[in-house]
Each structure stands twice: as C-alpha cells, then as structure tokens.
Amino acid sequence: MIRQFDLRSSSRRAGLPKNFLHDRDSSSESVEQAVRAILHRVQRDGDHALRYYEKKFSGVRLASIKIPEKEIRSALKNANPKFVAILKKAAANIRRFHLHQRRSSWKIREQFNSDLRQLYLPIERVGVYVPGGRAAYPSTVLMNVIPAQVAGVKEIHLVSPPDKNGKVNSDVLLAAAILNVRNVYCAGGAQAIAALAFGTEAIPAVDKIVGPGNIFVATAKRLVFGIVGIDSFAGPSEVVILADDSARTEFIASDMIAQAEHDERASSILVTTSGSSASHVEAEIQKIVRFLPRRKIIETSLKQHGAIILVRSLTQGVEIVNLLAPEHLEIVTKNQEQTLKMIKHAGSIFLGNYSPVALGDYFAGTNHVLPTGRTARFSSPLSVDDFVKKSSVTNYSKKKMNSVSEDIAYFAEREGLTAHAFSLRLRGKNDRT
C-alpha cells in the first residue's frame, strides 16, 4: 500500500527517487485558461456571471448572493448547543494564541528634533474563502477570520459555495455568527475569487483574499495576485512524522491516515530510525483503513504520495525533514526538544505522542493555514502579520537636513541621479541662508 525507502546505508536523500520532492507537482494549461475566462466574465458581468457559473457548475440557481443577517443569526439560534460550546472554546484558544502576535508601531529619535517611525496598520477589507458544497469547514472560518479581527481589519467578507439547496452550510454560518461576521455570500469556485478581486453588485472588491480551495480556486488566487493580496499559493496538504522507537505506532498510523483522507493528492510520510516501528505502522494502517468511509481516497493518497523512510540516525532523519520542509511535522522522539532545535523548515510542529495534527487543525490555537509544497523554507503559517501592512515615516528638521544634504547629494550623483542631488542641495542651501 505504501512505499518504503531504506536509507540506512546511504547519505541524506540518496535512495529517494529523483522526483520524490515534486511528485505532486501539477500544472494544467486548460485549468488556467478556464479560470482566466471565469475571471474575465465576472469582472465584466458581475452578479449575473456569478449566477451563471453557479448554475453551470453546481446546478444551483441562486436566489440571493448575500446572506441576510437574520439567517446568520438563525444558524446560531438553531445550532446544536454542544457544537456551539466546542466552537466557542476553539475560537477562544485561537484568539488567545493570535493576540500574542500583535505588533506596535515604533519610533527612533534622531538628533535635531527629527525621527524615523514604522507604523503597523490593518488592511481595511479582507475576503475569506471557505470551501463548501459537499462538505463544511467551520474551522476555516475560525482560522482565517480571527487573526484578521485581532489585526483590526474593519471589513471581513466571507464567501462559501452553495449546497444542493442553494444555501451556505449552516455550520459555516454558525462559525460566522459566533465571530460576528455579518457579510457572508453564497458563491464559490474561481468565480467567487473573481468577485472578491474585482467586486460585483453584491460583493465588494477587497484588498486581500485568504482561505483554501480546490485547484480552480488556487489558480484564481494566483492570477488575481497583484490586483489584490493573497495569503499563499497553497497545494495539497502534507504531514511528515519524525520518530524513533519511543513513538506509539498506532498513533503514527492514525495520523498518516488522517492526513491521507484530505484528498488523493495529500502526502503522509514517516521518517523513522526504527525498522520495527516501520513494519508495525504499515500493519496498523492496513488494519485501520478498511473500516473508514473515505477508504478509497486514503488508499490512493498513501499509495501515490505516502512513504515510510528508514534512516540510520535522527541526524539523518532531520536532514530529510529539512529537505522536505513539510506543512505539518510531528516529532515523536525520546528527546523531542533537542530534536526540535535541529529543525530549520516546517510550517506547524507537533511534539510527542499526544500532539496530533488534528489538535492544531481544530482546537489548540495555532493556525492551520500553512505553507505547503516545501514553501516552509521561506514562508510561515497564517498570522496577524498577514492582515497588517507597514508604513515607514521620515521626519527631518531643517537642521538635520542641513547636516546630511551634501553627503546624500554626492551619493545620488554617484548613481547618476542629478535631480535627486538637486532636491537635497536645494533644501540645504535654503537652510543655510
């Protein structure tokens, strides 16, 4: 069911297939062409195009694009009290974690009554895409909306595809109600991204779009980047588990299966120093998976993109992990803190037998919007920083300008920018007269 690679007699990645790091890469010119056509039509025709594409792709005729606030409040009123309590606990945990990420503006005082500053300002208007249709993801609402609220974003506009009855899923509306999100729209796919980027009669254009989606949504976000900001170019989800013989093999197996049930392109990889653990994990996977409703998806994912990699030492295992730069990393070793110190690239890290990825997906408070496809080498989990922008401020007095104008003018002339030099000397000259 799952590939195995024994690297105990080799170094670093030797023994892995050449395409191992890129075996989920896919680019489709036909998808991009289709998405470009959707973007153009929504930009041109607005709400009419939204209704057209919803009817074309999902067979749903939209009565209303914007969800009335009464309907959002009703989702909370009619919800299961147990689930409401759980969502509120999760929201509190997520908010508490993200509150620690807030930054303050600062100032450097210069001589002669001058100063330099950096201002942290919230983005004014953010669009949140929440997948829907056949499934519901209220956790996506929490993970994307809360850091925006903590950052101080004034307007949050949430879009989610309709179900077969032409409605946004009630659990998505419930999460929106708990967070007091009032602007919710029934729209999905690339057409919803287009609406957020360009604006329609019902949906205003935003400054940044965040949230996960299928290949059409991801392609649309990539194509509108520059017109608006986006969170990331997200790909299929992934987990790497770095383990020694202290790991509970049934836990490892369950976490690999949990990752695989996302979709057929998800990746679940075990890197272990223990041959016995490797064998037991594979056996546990086969035992567990046959009873699960999403068995076909899981088996396809594990067969095509899963792996068990045997290494001779944790040092070699860490080298593999840093090479993979995974979205999720579980470290289950005897000295997990020491192992953690060697990790250079990972989106979200989970320590020990009792910290599964699912804990971060829903409840702990860390964000589950993470860099995929080795982009953890240079990017980070979604955070409050994604919803603020920085402005720098320069405030020089006449005396301060006079003290530096000639030096800077000379610098400008070295680059051939004589008008720059003139603007500096003009101020210095005026100050000396």
The catalytic site residues sit at 327-328
C-alpha distances in Å from residue 43, one per residue of 47, 60, 154, 184, 191: 9, 21, 24, 20, 9
Torsion of CA 250, 251, 253, 259, to 10 degrees: 160
Strand ranges (DSSP E) for 43-124? 106-110, 114-122
Q: How many helices (H) and strands (E) does the chain have?
A: 16, 14
Residue 298: its H or E element:
helix 295-305
What's the rounded Cα separation, in Å, for the pair 187 and 159? 6
**Beta bridge mates, 107:** 117
**Which of 94, 180, 171 has its CA nearest to residue 363?**
94
Say which amino acid occupies 12: R
- Single out the residue of 195, 186, 226, 231 nearest to residue 212, CA to CA: 231
Determine the Cα–Cα distance for residues 417 and 424; give it in Å rounded to an integer. 11
Please report, for residues 79, 81, 88, 90, 361, the alpha-carbon distance to residue 85 in angstroms, rounded to integers and kept in the order given: 10, 6, 5, 9, 17
180 alpha carbon, distance to own chain's centre: 22
d(CA 348, CA 267): 15
Query: Amino acid identity of 168?
Result: V
- Residues 6 or more apart whose CB falls under 8 angstroms from that of 18 comprise none
Pairing verdict, β 307-310 and 328-332: unpaired
Q: How far apart are CA 151 and CA 139, in angstroms?
A: 19
Backbone φ/ψ region at 85: left (φ over 0), alpha (ψ -120 to 50), beta: alpha
Q: How far is CA 432 from CA 115, 407, 408, 425, in A?
A: 21, 15, 16, 10
Contacts of 285 (CB under 8 A, 6+ apart): 1, 2, 253, 256, 257, 302
176: tokens are: 């929106």
